């Protein structure tokens, strides 16, 4: 049970956002995706979740080619995601935000609300249930977005910069939550983050992108020791000096 990109290329006009990118997200653990701005991280998530069709290569779920599925079908196949901007349904309350995913996945409304309540309990944010989603504090908004993505027991969860703008303390709470999602629910997570410390602390495997290409794949030690990674982050001169 693996979600993978196989030799994926994506181009926007003349700009090649991704070139021959291959990566695999195994179940039950957290895979990190890091890289400088413009490296193609969000394009990877968009491709994995059906928002971007690959120009070449394939998206594979358990070996089956799912490249052509539209986004809502990808979600029903078990691939959930969050967005950098949160993108909650602002006019609906928190419970309904989660219930939307439930009904999107084919539940009746009462079932969806029941499941939503259970999930809010599991995340420890049940008190937010009847609050309008618009105007939630930033960290709560992020938690609700993750809860919404967890509805209907997805097999994979793609987290696009969930810690952006969080304090160290809040980021540590988030790291604990992500570990629980992978550990207790067996969900394969892909974590995109600029906070490299957070990524190295929770991820078993890390993929490093630069200029739309995978420049390194490995565990924490391998990433820290990698010369191409240091060049991408610090430039060739500093890498030389280090």
Partner 1 sequence: MLSQHTIRRRMAASTPLVLALGLLAFVLLATTMGDRATARMATETLIRVTLVAGFWIFVGNSGVVSFGHAAFACVGAYVSAWLTLKPAMKGTLLPGLPDLIAAADWPALPAVLTGGALAALLALVSGAAILRLSGIAASIATFAFLAMVNTIWANWTPVTGGTSSVVGLDRYVTPWVALGWAVAALIAASLYGLSASGLALRATREDEVAASASGIDRYRHRLLAYVLSAFFCGVGGALMGHFIGVINPDAYYLNLTFLMLAMLVVGGIGSLSGAVAGVLALSLAVEGLVRMEKGVTLGATTFALPAGSQEIIIAAAMILVLIFRPAGLLAGREITLPARWVTGRGTTHNGPATDRRET
Residue 152 interacts with partner 1 (CB under 8 A): yes or no: yes
Rounded Cα distance, 172 and 152, in Å: 26
Residue 41 tokens, joined: 């991280």
Decide the pairing of beta strands 30-34 and 188-192.
Answer: parallel
Residue 73 CB, nearest distance to partner 1 (Å)? 8
Which 3 state secondary structure label does DSSP give 192? strand
Residue 156 interacts with partner 1 (CB under 8 A): yes or no: no
For partner 1, the closer of residues 41 and 230 by Cβ is: 41
What are the φ/ψ torsions at residue 103 (nearest 5 degrees)?
-70, -30
Using the contact rule CB under 8 A, the part of the chain among 14-22, 67-75, 171-179, 215-223 near partner 1 is 67-75
Residue 114 interacts with partner 1 (CB under 8 A): yes or no: no
Under 8 Å between Cβ of 64 and 4: no
Residue 219 CB, nearest distance to partner 1 (Å)? 30
Question: Cβ atoms within 10 A of the Cβ of 166, count?
Answer: 18
For partner 1, the closer of residues 79 and 208 by Cβ is: 79
Contact residue for partner 1 among 125, 129, 150, 229 (CB under 8 A): 129
Residue 230 CB, nearest distance to partner 1 (Å)? 35
Rounded Cα distance, 123 and 2, in Å: 26
DSSP H or E stretch at residue 40: none
Contact residue for partner 1 among 15, 130, 135, 242 (CB under 8 A): 130
Using the contact rule CB under 8 A, the part of the chain among 105-113, 167-175, 178-186, 231-239 near partner 1 is 105-113
End-to-end CA distance of the chain: 40
Tell me how far CA of residue 117 lies from CA of 38, 114, 144, 159, 216, in angstroms: 38, 5, 12, 22, 41
Given the rule CB under 8 A, which residues bind partner 1?
49-51, 70-72, 75-76, 80-81, 83, 87-93, 95-96, 99-101, 103-109, 112-113, 117, 129-130, 132, 148-149, 151-152
């Amino acid at each position: 049970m693996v979600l993978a990109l196989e030799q994926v290329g994506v181009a926007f006009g003349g700009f090649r956002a991704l070139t021959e990118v291959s990566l695999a997200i195994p179940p039950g653990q957290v895979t990190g995706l890091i890289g400088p701005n413009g490296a193609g991280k969000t394009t990877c998530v968009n491709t994995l979740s059906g928002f971007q069709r690959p120009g070449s290569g394939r998206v594979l779920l358990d070996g089956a080619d799912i490249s052509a599925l539209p986004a809502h079908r990808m979600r029903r196949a078990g691939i959930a995601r969050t967005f950098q901007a949160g993108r909650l349904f602002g006019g609906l309350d928190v419970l309904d935000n989660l219930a939307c995913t439930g009904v999107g996945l084919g539940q009746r409304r009462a079932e969806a609300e029941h499941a939503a309540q259970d999930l809010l309990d599991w995340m420890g944010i049940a008190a937010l249930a009847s609050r309008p989603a618009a105007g939630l504090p930033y960290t709560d908004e992020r938690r609700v977005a993750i809860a919404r993505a967890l509805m209907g027991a997805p097999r994979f969860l793609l987290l696009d910069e969930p810690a952006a703008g969080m304090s160290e303390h809040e980021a540590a709470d988030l790291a604990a939550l992500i570990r629980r999602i992978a550990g207790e629910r067996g969900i394969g997570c892909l974590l995109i983050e600029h906070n490299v410390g957070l990524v190295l602390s929770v991820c078993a495997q890390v993929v490093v992108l630069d200029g739309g290409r995978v420049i390194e794949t490995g565990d924490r030690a391998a990433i820290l020791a990698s010369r191409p990674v240091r060049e991408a982050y610090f430039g060739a001169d500093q890498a030389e000096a280090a």
